Structure 1
Amino acid sequence: MPKQSDDPALSKFTGSLVRRAQQRHAAVWLSEVSAEITSVQYAALEILQQTPGLNQRQLGDELDVDRSTIADLVARMVRNDLIERSDDPADKRSYVLFLTAAGKKQLANLRPRVEEVERVLTARLSPRECMELRRLLLALMVPRE
């Protein structure tokens, strides 16, 4: 009996391959990076490092997550002292987000591990194939009109 990964019936569906690739990413992330910091939390740290002072909606848009997900994510990251909220001077009903000193330290500590995840996941691909894979995955995310 063929292994599930060798089954051509499963490998002809893009969604199945994307799901399985995501499962592999999650497993490599857990082994190489962290069981406490998720890849989405890491992405939030990177975004806030590059663009400090985003509000929660803007961060959610950057991460491509819905309002309830970003609210939970921000609350957890504030609770874990990775980010802090400050009143938004332009909109008193809102607040802006910044990395804490602990968040900056965590980001610096995790970055080489995240690079290792990238190396492990793409080890069988040439640099050109890596670029093509990213291009194709980005094309999948463009909404249909």
Structure 2
Amino acid sequence: MPIKHDHPDALSKFTGGLVRRAQQRHVAVWLSEVSAEITSVQYAALEILRATPGVNQRQLGDELDVDRSTIADLVARMVRNGLIERSDDPIDKRSYVLFLTAAGKKQLASLRPRVEEVERILTARLTQQETLQLRRLLLALLPPQP
């Protein structure tokens, strides 16, 4: 039996709750359309490494907006799965530079159309203008980039 709320908009009153619910929907659509093995964060890492091969682990973490331990775990998992390779940074020996492997490039190419389908599903009820406005508003919620 559904819970009755005193106010019909009780669940939509707070932005955080809506963002959380939208994220849950994104995860569900991602799992059904893209992959249960490759997360959306891993996909984003593949796209970043395609565009900027040789970035170091810290730069990748900054681009993905994840902390040092999270990026270390993410990179280790992707190396273990053969999607990326890391080597010592020739400039900073305390750091690693990262590159897509052939398998990573192949995986990225096969995932991209499915990721585009996730985008289509999530924004199906929006006009193109509303989709752009939603992205602009979501970006406004994030801290400014340095």
In the alignment, does 2:15 pair up with 1:14? yes
Q: 1:93: Cα distance to partner?
A: 1.7
In the alignment, does 2:108 pair up with 1:73? no
Q: 1:8: Cα distance to partner?
A: 0.7
Q: 1:142: Cα distance to partner?
A: 2.1
CA deviations over 1:40-85 (Å, ceiling 9, x no partner): 0000000000000000000000000000100000000000000000
Equivalent residue number for residue 108 of structure 1: 109
Q: How many residues align?
A: 142
Runs of 4+ in structure 1 displaced over 4 angstroms?
1-4
| Alpha-carbon distance in structure 2 between the residues aligned to 1:71 and 1:7 | 44
Equivalent residue number for residue 32 of structure 2: 31
Q: 1:21: Cα distance to partner?
A: 0.1
Runs of 5+ consecutive residues of structure 2 not aligned to the other structure: none
Greater fraction of residues in strand: 1
| Alpha-carbon distance in structure 2 between the residues aligned to 1:60 and 1:2 | 41
In the alignment, does 2:85 pair up with 1:84? yes
| Structure 1 range deviating more: 90-99 or 108-117 | 90-99
Q: 1:7: Cα distance to partner?
A: 4.1
| Alpha-carbon distance in structure 1 between the residues aligned to 2:82 and 2:8 | 45
